[in-house]
Structure 1
């Protein structure tokens, strides 16, 4: 059955092209229970492997919707041990050893910083009765019920199989460093890369390991009134800070996940449009506010072109003006590489910065291109396109795009006149969330 027949099914890892990497946001939510945003979890597929990063509430359900049998998860990596990152872990483990649900062969592979072995051993102890009765009933093979924990206390490569490497690096989940361990991960395969920040305040390691990655997935937190929950606000990265990180690392696609956006009925959050606007105060590149089951599929080849959307160079995805020469792009790239965000140059987290230090320039509005206009260049706006749509525009000569072939755009709905403006960028194909509707 194809996704056209059942939109709740995603693309199995075996359907990926050689050299392709696919990233699927299984859960993009916060600790707040939500039917729209499940608990934090991310699936990375490469070279026939399914790697899951964190297993928050509902991860098993989202994997099933994405078309990945839970028994085919090759490894799970934990960033830290807050409940919203692990409360779906036991479900994923137990479902995967039941033949009718997963049918995993061998032990469940669990990776993470110091403490992950305690979690693995604790789950086996807690659910021992389930294992014993299923084994006694000849339902499961006891060899499939074990958890093999891989625990690491230093940064570095923690997984290296069949050309796929996973590197773990330390982050800082709170201003005082009380929440330890806390880590992020970078996955590399066939020249492609994705970074998952984990929960963190602005941290230099994200800049180091995220420099020039294809996809940078970063958590974000913001409220209508940031002073409403100062202790929560201080444990995450706000959109202005995240924008500075994206500006420095210049990913092909910057993605928000683990979106901490208020508490229903208690603390008002902000709209996705406002989240984007606040990010645009410090970053103008490719940006997506993630939703559950949104997928990012990398191209299988890379081009040296710096203007054509089909081969945009990492770090220079879109221009401030209609055309930017290669020389101008190289100079801009050099400036970005040597510029250190102010909050790092000052040697302290923006969580402790003064209000004046948080101020950033207002986003500049470029001119809009009407649908009846001549062919548009990468970086210019097009209008009359629904938010989160993928537009089909062909690529013409000289880096132009025309009505008819595929290119991703980013859309912002203005609060004043409710008009939607969109911008062409990035060779990445962004697919809409799969739903059961």
Structure 2
């Protein structure tokens, strides 16, 4: 392991959905690895409420180095303008460090459309801000030791899952997804699978996972640990862990806003 390596830390900032919830804001998750100038602090999705939730949790949002969005639904991107605005006008001194925003094809056009609503400052926020769109089979290096790769998933036309790997440990984040054998194979052997768990079995739809389907995905991937997120209120009324355990017997966590783990 590199001398400056840190246990990978995951903090689930927002574990909710588009449904307003008293305890859960929309999707956002922070992955941290490394120390000092070589540290990577990657925000996966930036849904509505995420920025103020980070402040409430005491998360060091000014030092985020990278953002990666999975798809273009509001509960995954709505706070991106708020984050950029916070970096420019919400802190003293204003941000000067560079940031890179990753996403599937169409991300650049999305930010241009946002700038048409919120102002052209989004395209030149006062600090170096680069937008990178993933191409098939691309592996992007974040800092010295961490890599980021993407995998298409069945949700919207652009939707992707992400894999974060520091050479020792691997985290896979499904974003929003339906059942996908390809995702299970791509996630094989991951140390932590951060998976959506949207709806109970009677409300199952092809664009999201039920607890049992999340368990099937974790079992197919032989994931070492399963962390569930993206809960619509109806799924919270069922025995999520019991349904997962029908397919997956590894450690399983029902994430809450502010839950974290080092691994």
Name the structure 1 match of 2:182: 205
Name the structure 2 match of 1:257: 229
Considering Cα pairs closer than 8 Å and 6+ residues apart, tell me whether 1 or 2 has the greater RCO. 2
Name the structure 2 match of 1:35: 22
User: Are the structure 2 counterparts of residues 200 and 129 from structure 1 closer, same or farther at C-alpha, using a change threshold of 3 Å?
Assistant: closer
Name the structure 2 match of 1:150: 132
Q: Which runs of 5+ in 2 are unaligned?
A: none
Name the structure 2 match of 1:118: 109
User: Are the structure 2 counterparts of residues 91 and 287 from structure 1 closer, same or farther at C-alpha, using a change threshold of 3 Å?
Assistant: same
- Distance, in Å, in 2 between the alignment partners of 1:270 and 1:92 is 29
After TM superposition, give the deviation of residue 123 of structure 1 in Å: 3.1
User: Are the structure 2 counterparts of residues 148 and 129 from structure 1 closer, same or farther at C-alpha, using a change threshold of 3 Å?
Assistant: closer
What RMSD, in angstroms, separates the aligned Cα atoms of the two structures? 2.3
SS where residue 241 of structure 2 aligns?
Answer: helix
User: Are the structure 2 counterparts of residues 236 and 129 from structure 1 closer, same or farther at C-alpha, using a change threshold of 3 Å?
Assistant: closer
Question: TM-score scaled by structure 1?
Answer: 0.54
Name the structure 1 match of 2:162: 185
After TM superposition, give the deviation of residue 107 of structure 1 in Å: 4.6
Does 2:27 match 1:61?
no
Name the structure 2 match of 1:243: 215
Name the structure 2 match of 1:282: 247
- Distance, in Å, in 2 between the alignment partners of 1:222 and 1:100 is 38
After TM superposition, give the deviation of residue 147 of structure 1 in Å: 3.8
User: Are the structure 2 counterparts of residues 223 and 237 from structure 1 closer, same or farther at C-alpha, using a change threshold of 3 Å?
Assistant: closer
Q: Deviations over 1:231-250 (max 9, x none)?
A: xx221111122111212222
User: Are the structure 2 counterparts of residues 186 and 124 from structure 1 closer, same or farther at C-alpha, using a change threshold of 3 Å?
Assistant: same
Q: Deviations over 1:374-433 (max 9, x none)?
A: xxxxxxxxxxxxxxxxxxxxxxxxxxxxxxxxxxxxxxxxxxxxxxxxxxxxxxxxxxxx
- Distance, in Å, in 2 between the alignment partners of 1:237 and 1:224 is 9
- Distance, in Å, in 2 between the alignment partners of 1:119 and 1:142 is 16
Q: How many residues align?
A: 255
Which of the two has higher C-alpha Rg? 1
Q: What pairs with 1:259-408 in structure 2 (closer than 5 Å)?
A: 259-262=231-234, 269-271=235-237, 274-298=239-263
- Distance, in Å, in 1 between the alignment partners of 2:102 and 2:12 is 19
Task: Tell me if the contact between 1:167 and 1:185 (Cα under 8 Å) persists in the aligned partners.
Answer: yes
- Distance, in Å, in 2 between the alignment partners of 1:276 and 1:93 is 37
SS where residue 109 of structure 2 aligns?
Answer: helix
- Distance, in Å, in 2 between the alignment partners of 1:251 and 1:65 is 31
SS where residue 126 of structure 2 aligns?
Answer: helix
After TM superposition, give the deviation of residue 206 of structure 1 in Å: 2.1
SS where residue 21 of structure 2 aligns?
Answer: coil
After TM superposition, give the deviation of residue 202 of structure 1 in Å: 1.4
After TM superposition, give the deviation of residue 102 of structure 1 in Å: 7.3
- Distance, in Å, in 2 between the alignment partners of 1:66 and 1:102 is 21
Question: TM-score scaled by structure 2?
Answer: 0.88
After TM superposition, give the deviation of residue 219 of structure 1 in Å: 0.4
SS where residue 221 of structure 1 aligns?
Answer: coil
After TM superposition, give the deviation of residue 252 of structure 1 in Å: 2.2
Q: Deviations over 1:280-317 (max 9, x none)?
A: 1112211011111100101xxxxxxxxxxxxxxxxxxx
Q: Which runs of 5+ in 1 are unaligned?
A: 1-16, 132-140, 174-178, 263-268, 299-437
